[in-house]
A and B are shown apart, each in its own frame.
Chain A
């Protein structure tokens, strides 16, 4: 029974962020991502026909446009944060042990950083700022 009574106590782990703060970020990024993705799609279809907007020259031209770069980077960051936290939440339910939970948290944060870094690199290269 003592072990069972400590079920809640086990959950009181030292973390950088409280779960409520993480979930606040989760919900905010979801709403913000919806907005920026909507703007992104509107840009695809509002300025020129959709097929034309995907032509090489037009795609590269997008990357020369600083406000559009900001939009793409924000999509990348918001979707990565939301998606990887969603993955963390799903994986947390699979097994219950501190090792697994910490492993999942570290891996999802690392995955998120790697994806943001790779996406940012693509944006920089396409912009022409990077070394070819």
Chain B
């Protein structure tokens, strides 16, 4: 029995070793060439691509490669980053044409020996790989991304109440609260490309996130915020926002659910009943 087990383990080890060699053959990427978009319009520098070769390992991310290039090859590369662990959403850029987080994309998972890095689409360009997020954050700000609750008295400390939620209540919005505002969905959205007043998938999914939160008491106001000519109805449901999200948020789902509430086929009766009950208790 034991011999059989040892034999099995040895076979597995051999198999792993073989796979490792095969992988190394497939990825002989001891180095890759970064094709970096360079432009600084303020300095009169016209857009062009710089090719920089950088050494890589299996675990090297595109951000690591870029930082290597910045440290040892060309210190003038403009790049924004912070946490290096897909938490801050700063290093969003187009990698081989797809919006991705540079810190979350390993070089080994990309095909070819040349990696093209460009600034995010649908954002005003500042320099090299850095884009301006003012408009994006303004759209986020416009959907009032915070809990509004009439029962929460912010002045009187004694009147502070606890707003209890069931796990089911939390489930309704939990995935949308994982948004890190990296702007990848905004960059992938075809509607944003043509309509600058369209709030974009991020803002609309956040509108849903607060709308469906059982602690929020301003659902009507929230619906009014997105129910306009350039609002939620301009979404074409391309779904590209959901496919590029690095945190597994499905903004397209949030938009469709919010639309359902606007059309009146998704009633929020349960929530209304709960709020009434809560108000009675408070009184």
Q: Please list the residues of chain A having a beta carbon within 8 angstroms of any beta carbon in chain B.
A: 1, 4-5, 7-13, 15, 18-20, 23-24, 27, 89, 92-94, 96, 101
Q: Could you tell me if A12 and B228 are in contact, using CB atoms closer than 8 angstroms?
A: yes
B194: chain A residues at CB < 8 Å are 93-94
CA distance A79 to B262 in the complex (A): 24
Which residues from chain B sit less than 8 Å from chain A, CB to CB? 134-135, 138-139, 141-143, 191, 194-197, 199, 223-225, 227-231, 233-234, 262-263
Interface centre among A9, A19, A24, A96 (most CB of B within 10 A): A19
**6 cross-chain pairs, A with B, having the tightest CB-CB distances, nearest first:** A8-B142, A4-B138, A11-B228, A20-B262, A93-B195, A93-B194
A7 touches B195 (CB 8 A): no
Identify A20's interface contact among B141, B197, B199, B233, CB under 8 A. B233
A1 to B141, CA, bound (A): 11
Min CB gap B77→A, angstroms: 28
Q: Are B227 and A7 in contact (CB under 8 A)?
A: no
Given A11-B229, A20-B233, A92-B229, does the pair A1, B134 have CB atoms closer than 8 Å?
A: yes
Q: State A5–B263 Cα separation when bound (angstroms).
A: 27
The residue in B143, B224, B230, B231 that gathers the most chain A C-beta atoms within 10 A of its C-beta is: B230
The answer to whether B197 and A96 have CB atoms under 8 Å apart is yes
Give B197's nearest chain A residue, CB to CB.
A96
Q: Is A20 touching B263 in the complex (CB atoms < 8 A)?
A: yes
B227 proximity list for chain A (CB < 8 A): 18-20
Nearest-neighbour CB distance to chain B for A100, whole angstroms, equals 11
Q: Is there contact, CB below 8 Å, between B142 and A5?
A: yes
Q: List 16 A-B contacts (CB under 8 A).
A: A4-B135, A5-B141, A7-B139, A8-B142, A8-B143, A12-B228, A19-B227, A19-B228, A19-B229, A19-B233, A20-B263, A27-B263, A89-B234, A93-B191, A96-B197, A96-B230
Across the interface, do A13 and B138 meet the contact criterion of CB distance under 8 Å?
no
Kindly list chain A residues whose C-beta atoms are within 8 Å of the C-beta of B139. 7-8
B263 lies within 8 A of A96 (CB) = no
Which residue of chain A has the shortest Cβ distance to B236 in the bound complex?
A93
Residues of B within 8 A of A101 (CB): 229
CA separation between A93 and B189, bound complex, in Å? 13
Would B228 and A96 count as touching, CB distance under 8 A?
no
- Min CB–CB distance A35 → chain B (angstroms): 19
Supposing A4-B134, A101-B229 touch, asked if A92 and B234 sit within 8 A by C-beta, the answer is yes
| CB nearest neighbor in B for A98 | B229
Taking CB atoms, residues of chain B closer than 8 Å to A7 are 135, 138-139, 142, 197
Bound complex: CA A86 to CA B107 (Å): 44
Identify which of A4, A5, A19 contacts B231 (C-beta below 8 A). A19
Residues in B whose Cβ lies below 8 Å from that of A24: 263
> Complex Cα distance A8/B198, Å?
9
Is there contact, CB below 8 Å, between A11 and B191? no
> Which B residue's beta carbon lies closest to that of A101?
B229
What is the minimal beta-carbon distance from B33 to any residue of chain A, in angstroms? 38
State whether B234 touches A96 (Cβ < 8 A): no
B230–A92 CB distance below 8 A? yes
Across-interface contacts of A89 in B (CB, < 8 A): 233-234
Residues of chain B within 8 A of A93, CB atoms compared: 191, 194-195, 234
Most chain B beta-carbon neighbours within 10 Å: one of A8, A15, A93, A96: A8
* Residue of B138, B225, B263 contacting most chain A CB atoms (<10 Å): B138
Q: How far is the CA of A38 from the CA of B57 in the complex (A)?
A: 62
